[in-house]
Structure 1
Amino acid sequence: MLEVAFGANADTDLEILAGGGVIAAYATDGARPAIPFWQLGFPNVTVHFLGSDVKPSSAATPEGAS
């Protein structure tokens, strides 16, 4: 699941995400959102926090793009 409002949508995400699912979050509604630790941990949900302005140096850049 790609998440653009991690804090605001955490409860909804838990309702629809299957056990063992993955949340990739690149934004949230606040700098320090509450994380429902036990609700994410027991079904083995993985959360990846992504920087929206960072890409690996190995990522290809189209010719002519900056």
Structure 2
Amino acid sequence: MLESSNSDFNELKVSHRKSEIDIHSQITENISSPIEVAEVIEDKLRKRDMDAEIASGEPGMANMRR
């Protein structure tokens, strides 16, 4: 059972990282300033994390950040 949990966790980490890379490549096509890119990425990642917390049944933390 522990192996399954570790495997699921590693798959989630890989999926999470791919999502970050996809967000970055979508944004950098339209924005030239590195500061703007960083701000937009931060906002999108924060929203994605909040959505994941709500989906997992932990909306308390997500609501505190909104």
TM norm. shorter chain > 0.5 = no
Q: Which of structures 1 and 2 has the larger relative contact order (alpha carbons within 8 angstroms, sep 6+)?
A: 1
What is the TM-score normalised by the length of structure 2?
Answer: 0.30
What is the TM-score normalised by the length of structure 1?
Answer: 0.30
Higher strand share: 1
